Structure formats: structure tokens, C-alpha cells
Amino acid sequence: MTRPTPVPDTTGHFGPFGGKFVPETVMAALSELEQAYAHAKRDPRFRSRLRALLADYAGRPTPLYFAARLSEALGGVKVYLKREDLLHTGAHKINNTLGQGLLAVRMGKRRLIAETGAGQHGVATATVAALFGLTCDVFMGEEDVRRQALNVVRMRLLGARVVPVSAGTRTLKDATSEAIRNWVTTVRTSHYCIGSVVGPHPYPMMVRDFQSVIGQEARRQVLSAAGRLPDLLVACVGGGSNAIGLFHPFARDRRVRMLGVEAGGHSLSPGHHAATVVKGSPGVLHGAASLLLQDRFGQVLSTESIAAGLDYPGVGPEHAYYRLIKRAEYVAVSDAQALQGAALLAKTEGIIPALEPAHAIAALARMARRLKRGTIVILGLSGRGDKDVQTLAQHLTGDGDGSTQRRV
């Protein structure tokens, strides 16, 4: 196993992945952002302001909760949940949008642009725009507007304009493409607040840095609670920001195993899943080299997932790098398994997760029988399930004795 580098190189590459593959009109804006972020990282006032907002506005630190009943149901592994679902807005996305919002204000930008799938990043961006007095446009595929109607209402209440995208599969990939097109024409006044560790440099590094507060806290908390580092980290992966946020502070601890869980959709046949690391190949998407789902001609494939936040045909370049050097493992979980993962956590711990981290719960349940009793696991609970209750209601039905079955 090769040890991962702590940061990308000066050109924004994680080994062969990352970099900048964008139109010339965007290069100046990326250079401006890179310089502004480099200066902000060194500015004690910026760091202090961000820490204060994360604590007093977002609600950090989040608990590292020992899930005793879930642990026993899984055969005695010790499962700790990193409760990002308890943050303001209901997910980890606020960690990143607060950082990028502060940076936008520092750069004199008065408008935020965002893409969103599950709606959580859109809500977090709209929240920060309202907090800082900025205008906000959120691009969202029409399919996601339909299945995440609650978050659409939340964004509009916060003053954002939700722009439905009808192109392609009408999901996250197409929303991202449309947001980038809009940014190209408004770079002087707008900041594109990318929601995951994707896109051209410096975004994968910058979003990772803002999300690394997850793993930094978890590291301190598990040492206090268990007296040692965990054996295993588990997190869902779409673009991959919550997973990188958990993984990165442990990346140099070789004895800590890291498992990323992707969306297996209906099947692993092309076009019916979003398991990019598991089934993808090297290519360029949305401004960066990484792994993506594509056909033999290099055309990006359609994706399917019950979890809108995982319904994306690419992945962050740092994840692709971790897979390359065998620092992290990646598996796929089907829609049906994710639904059972959500039901399992709800029934054992009284916590309804978002469908995205439900994939991680399902993967852990599937592998638990191969883990020794007492194995310490930290699972990234990246969001709460309020937004997915309608979807859960359509697919799951209780039979009256406390069990939950998938409706067929």
C-alpha cells in the first residue's frame, strides 16, 4: 500500500487525477479563487470566523454516537455514528458552504451559484446566501426537483431561485453542467459554490479541507471514547465530500481501513447504477480528470439511484487516487439494500437516515459477519432522512410487528 500525499501537487493533481480542464474564460476565475483561498487559509481572522460560524451557527462539533443496538444487531461490532445529520440544514453540506460563502464575500462576489441533486447542498448554499446577504441561483435537474420537493420549498423560502434543468437525465450531472455554463458568463460577479470534491482545481482540495472537520473531530472523539483509533471508516460516495471529509484526517494511518459505498442502483448494468469507482474508467468530467461512467466511445453514461445525492457519473479525484494506490476500498449497494439499511437504523436507533448514508449502513450490515466482535467502526451519517420520507413511503411498508419490508 502506498501512502497518500497529504495535498495535491501545485497543478492540482492527485497522481494522474485532478487538474484543470476548463474553457479559457474560466481559467482566470480559477486562478483568482486559488489565490484567494491560499491567502484565506493563512489568515487567522478568516479561520477564526469560520470556526465561530461552524460552532455557533452550524452546530459543531457533532456527536460521535455509539449505536449500541445497531452494534448488537450487526453481531457485536462497535459502531459509532458521526452525526452530521444533526447540523443546521440537516447534512454535512453546511461545512463547505460556510467556508465558500466567507470566501465569496472576501473576494467581493455578490452572487452564489450552486448545483444540487438531493437538495441538501442547494439548501446549505441558499442558507449561507441568506446569512451573508447574497443572491443565489441553484440549478437542479427536473427529476430531482420532483423527488426532492421538500428541499425545493426550503431553498425558495430562503430566497434562492431554483432553476430546473431539463437536459439529459435531468439529474445532478446535468445540473452541474448547466451551473458551469452559467458561471462561464458571470465569473466577474458570481462565485460557483461546488458542493462536492469534484470539478477543477482548487475545488477538490478546497471542499476537502472544509469537510475535513468531520474526520478531525471524529479522530479526537474516538480516542476519547474508545482509547484508540477505529479499525474501519465507512461512508457513502457520490462526488465524495462527506467520505473525504471523514477519510482524509486518517489517510496516513495505515491500520485504519476505509470503505467508500457507491450507489448500485437497480443493477450494475450500464446506465442502471452510479458506482463510478467500482465500474468506471479514467476520463475527464466537469473540469477534472478522474474516474467516470462512460461507454467505449467516451460518452458519459446515464445513472440511476434511489438517492439523488449519489446519482452522479463521476467521483472526486482524491477518491480515484485512493483507489489507485489501494488506500481505500469501494463497493456498491443496490437501491433495495439501501432501503433496508435505512429501515435498520430507524428500527434499532430511532434515527431515520438520508438515503445516501443508508447505503453505507447497508454495506456495513453486509460485511459485519466478516468482522470480529469488538471491531471499532465509524460510519459517516452524512444527512437526515426528512427529505426522503416520501420515497421511503413509496417503497417500504410495515407489517404491524415492527418489521419493514420492501414493497414490490
Average pLDDT value for residue range 262-276:
96
Residue 397: the pLDDT is 64
Residue 52, pLDDT > 60, answer yes
Average pLDDT value for residue range 199-220:
98
Residue 172: the pLDDT is 81
Residue 401 binned pLDDT confidence (cut-offs 50, 70, 90): very low
**Known catalytic membership, residue 115:** yes
**Known catalytic membership, residue 190:** no
Residue 126, pLDDT > 50, answer yes
Average pLDDT along the chain: 94
Q: Which cell numbers hold the place of 194?
A: 461546488
Residue 400, pLDDT > 60, answer no
Q: Report phi then psi at 314, rounded to 5.
A: -125, -175
The residue annotated as part of the active site, out of 115, 143, 178, 217, is 115
Residue 408: the pLDDT is 32
Q: What is the pTM of this model?
A: 0.94
Average pLDDT value for residue range 286-294:
97
Show the CA angle centred on residue 140, arms to residues 131 and 61, nearest 5°.
45
Percent of the chain at pLDDT above 70? 96
Distance CA 104, CA 34 (A): 12
Average pLDDT value for residue range 205-213:
98
Look at the alpha carbons of 116, 119, 121, 125 in this order and tell me if their dihedral is positive or negative.
Answer: positive
Residue 290: the pLDDT is 98
- The overall longest dimension of the chain from CA atoms, in Å, is 61
Partners of 202 in the β-ladder? none
Average pLDDT value for residue range 253-262:
97
Residue 25 binned pLDDT confidence (cut-offs 50, 70, 90): confident
Residue 398, pLDDT > 70, answer no
**Known catalytic membership, residue 93:** yes
Query: What domains can be seen in the chain, in order of their start residue?
Result: 13-55+93-207 (3.40.50.1100), 59-90+211-406 (3.40.50.1100)
Average pLDDT value for residue range 211-223:
98
Residue 278, pLDDT > 80, answer yes
Distance CA 193, CA 235 (A): 23
The residue annotated as part of the active site, out of 78, 93, 109, 173, is 93
